[in-house]
Amino acid sequence: MASGNTNHSTQTAAGLLTELSVNGMTCGNCARHVTEAIQSVPGVTSASVRLDAGRAAVRWQSAPDLPAVVAAVQAAGYEATPLETEGPKAQQRSAWSPLAGWQFNVVVGLAVTLPLIIGEWIFGLGMTPWFRWLAFALTLPVQIFCGARFYIGAWRQLKVRDSNMDTLVALGSTTAFGYSVWALFTGAGGHLYFMESAAIITLISLGHWIEARTSAKAEGSLQALLHLAPQRARRRNADGSEVEVPVRELQVNDTVVLKPGDHVPTDGEVSSGDSTVDESMLTGESLPVNKHPGDKVFAGTVNLNGQMLTRVTGTGEATALAHIIAAVARAQTSRAEIQRLGDRVSSVFVPIVVLIALATGLWWGLAPQQAQHVSAWLEKFLWPSAVPESVLAAAFIHAAAVLIIACPCAMGLATPAAIMAGTNAAARRGILIRDGMALERAGRITALIFDKTGTLTQGKPVVVSEEKYVVNQRRPAVDEMKLAAALARRSSHPLSQAIAKLHPDDFPFTNWEEIRGAGVQARLSLDNSSPVLVRLGSLRWLREAGVDLRQSRAFEEKWSAQGATLLGIAANPSLLGVLAVQDTLKPGAADVTRQLQNNGLHVYLVTGDNLLTAQAIAKQAGIPSQNVFAEVRPEQKAKFIEQLRAKGERVAFVGDGINDAPALEAADLGIAVSRASDVAREAADIILLNSEIEAVPEALGLSQATLRTIKQNLFWAFFYNAVGIPLAAFGFMSPILCAAAMGLSDLVVIGNALRLLRWRMRR
């Protein structure tokens, strides 16, 4: 492990990053074990392990603890060494080499195995003495140098009292090679299995090489995100000069110059200039977004056609891109509940297989006639079995075949490969999925609840009408609507912001308070009079507070029927006025609800608005009137979710994050319709970055497809072993065929998972 002043960490868009070289990984299962070991270290935010490069990227919440990570990896049976993370050397280390990684085994193994296959199968030289010695001479370096990775991996696992696929490959190949060496040197005669022992290592290495290449494709979205933010930026100094600096040197409030074609280096706010920005890599939205002074820009997006000056508002792990990267990385390396089944089987699988192989060898060695009789009977239903010439050879070779075909890689890859592909496919569409468990829950949803404001509606309400009332036969001392605007200005709720635009005036309020899901209130003292409690909020809330609303009944009925939200302004028990605030339905809302209902989901609308308004919006959106629940407080939304769950429904709640945290957390699945800048604070399982609910059916559909893929992968992995092990034990699969089948099983699982990257929503 390095010491001294060597720098192993760097600040990236995703925060503090440490890279390590990891030795001993031979398959996706190994990479998963390394990932879990690293993530168990306190302070680690996420870990991304690349099997093809033998690298691990570790992101930290606080100061890196490299010794703890190295120790955790070693405890899992692997070796880890911190690497430099900056400069051209890092790029040079990852350059492709024909003899690096699994390529060495494939190149050398094929150079030996192909001549042996040609000699035995085409020219029939298998029993020729000189060819037998040549086979030994050629196979020995394959066994020593190419097999070293398997032997070292098996030994490392043995030291930590564990076993994995390396154990099975090492035992199987050594069994075939050891028997052949014994038969050659003792002159025992019969067929030798040097070709088979070399082919086992070669074919399995070829399978791992292809597996590593295809697995790398599943990491594509995360790798693309990591490279979105540029490494350098143009900083404008106080004297007006410009200097190009590394992005890590930028600080909050620095001014950055963006020219057409530049990638935005950090989150910021446009201080001058107008342009359009491509945000598709973050939100999945293909149309460019217009940017003017005061608008926000995000790291990794692309400035298209104008020059802008931006003020830095977030750097490093504080950027939206960093939060998105962390979310994708966390999801890729997370686990689903369904994975526990595979884990329980895998934990005892290798020891059981070794026992089965031992039993197979003893059966063929001690009761050969019985074994051959059973094999001959099964030939009637299968195909001719390949029984070695001698009893001893049959015992060794059939035991080796069992060891080779029973590799648990496919079982271990079944769930992680599908989760990685599914979360990447979602990220490309601007859908962030928190983890594998959220993905799994999303695939099992039966009911979906929509919030109204900002979710089904545009979230940009405007005041369409207002009505003022006389109190005690005289007008109030202040203008009612000016008072309402001043009360609303301190709130960030969309309805409050719409009212705040009515007037710029302010008042000397005291004890201002926002009542979640109800409204705002404060005390106001004018002309040295005693303080008056003034309220702005829903009519239901005012009614509960004792305000007389009889004057507003006609106004309320008129505008509620048109889908407007009614808010009242009151002083003590007196109603001063009512405002009708209207928000338009999102253009695709009706299509979304129709699509969800066509897919068998029960769709509900739950809102704090009055019943008439809620029914009007529901009718436009195509939600059945019996599924509309109005005048529901935020905390009551969570209770309503519990009621549906008690009826056996698996509930998803879709909200915009404003006052929706209790419901998002109470639901089986929380879906937040958000903006990239809000990613860090959402209490949701799925975040839709482009704020369009058209992505809701897509997110649920992709989750269902991922869950279906996981089940398919697990079925294939179990079926493969359930069929393959007996066939090998009864002599119907040679070690070479077993090695090919083992590699094929991994590729089937990964290939099935990669289909998710091309998944499309059926309309």
Q: Is 479 helix (H, G, I), strand (E, B) or coil?
A: coil
How many whole angstroms separate alpha carbon 620 and alpha carbon 633? 23
Find the CATH number of the domain harbouring 663: 3.40.50.1000
Q: For residue 427, give the nearest of 54, 679, 231 by alpha carbon.
A: 679
Shared-domain flag, residues 531 and 590: no
How many whole angstroms separate alpha carbon 555 and alpha carbon 575? 13
Residue 568 lies in a domain: yes
pLDDT for residue 28: 65
Shared-domain flag, residues 283 and 407: no
Shared-domain flag, residues 483 and 404: no
- Is the distance from CB of 666 to CB of 673 less than 8 angstroms? no
Residue 188 lies in a domain: yes
How many whole angstroms separate alpha carbon 171 and alpha carbon 82? 32
Find the CATH number of the domain harbouring 283: 2.70.150.10
pLDDT for residue 535: 93
Q: Is 289 helix (H, G, I), strand (E, B) or coil?
A: strand
Classify the C-alpha dihedral 630-631-635-639 as positive or negative. negative
Shared-domain flag, residues 205 and 76: no
How many whole angstroms separate alpha carbon 549 and alpha carbon 59? 57
pLDDT for residue 230: 80
pLDDT for residue 683: 62
Token pair 């996420």 in the structure block, residue:
46
pLDDT for residue 92: 39
Shared-domain flag, residues 213 and 114: yes
Q: Select from 582, 598, 623 the last residue of a domain.
A: 582
Q: What angle do CA 141, 144, 147 make, to 5 degrees?
A: 115
pLDDT for residue 475: 61
Shared-domain flag, residues 110 and 199: yes
* 166, 487, 521, 732 from 491: Cα distances, Å: 61, 8, 11, 75
Domain coverage including residue 47: 9-95
Residue 550 lies in a domain: yes
Q: For residue 143, give the nearest of 210, 77, 199 by alpha carbon.
A: 199
Residue 422 lies in a domain: no
How do residues 288-307 score in pLDDT, each as one tens digit? 888 889 888 888 888 888 88
How many structural domains is the chain composed of? 5
pLDDT for residue 739: 76
Residue 384 lies in a domain: yes
Furthest C-alpha separation in the chain: 121
Which are the contacts of 664, defined by CB distance < 8 A and separation ≥ 6? Answer: 653, 655, 657, 670, 671, 672, 682, 683, 684
Sequence-ordered alpha helix ranges (H) in 687-734: 695-729
Shared-domain flag, residues 720 and 628: no
pLDDT for residue 737: 83
pLDDT for residue 86: 43
pTM surpassing 0.85? Answer: no
Shared-domain flag, residues 651 and 712: no
CB-based burial of residue 324 (10 Å sphere; 0-12 exposed, 13-18 middle, 19+ buried)? buried
Token pair 């609840």 in the structure block, residue:
449
Residue 3 lies in a domain: no
Residue 425 lies in a domain: no
pLDDT for residue 389: 74
pLDDT for residue 221: 53
Q: Catalytic site residue 451?
A: yes
Q: Select from 700, 724, 745 the last residue of a domain.
A: 700
Q: What angle do CA 337, 342, 347 make, to 5 degrees?
A: 120
How many whole angstroms separate alpha carbon 39 and alpha carbon 34? 9
Q: Select from 582, 605, 636 the last residue of a domain.
A: 582
Q: Is 722 helix (H, G, I), strand (E, B) or coil?
A: helix
Amino acid identity, residue 645?
R
Q: For residue 689, give the nearest of 305, 183, 340, 323 by alpha carbon.
A: 323
Shared-domain flag, residues 194 and 340: yes
Residue 424 lies in a domain: no
Collect the ranges in the chain with pLDDT lower than 50. Answer: 1-6, 13-14, 85-98, 676-677, 679-681
How many whole angstroms separate alpha carbon 643 and alpha carbon 660? 17
How many whole angstroms separate alpha carbon 112 and alpha carbon 695? 53
- Residue from 52, 262, 451, 678 carrying the catalytic annotation: 451
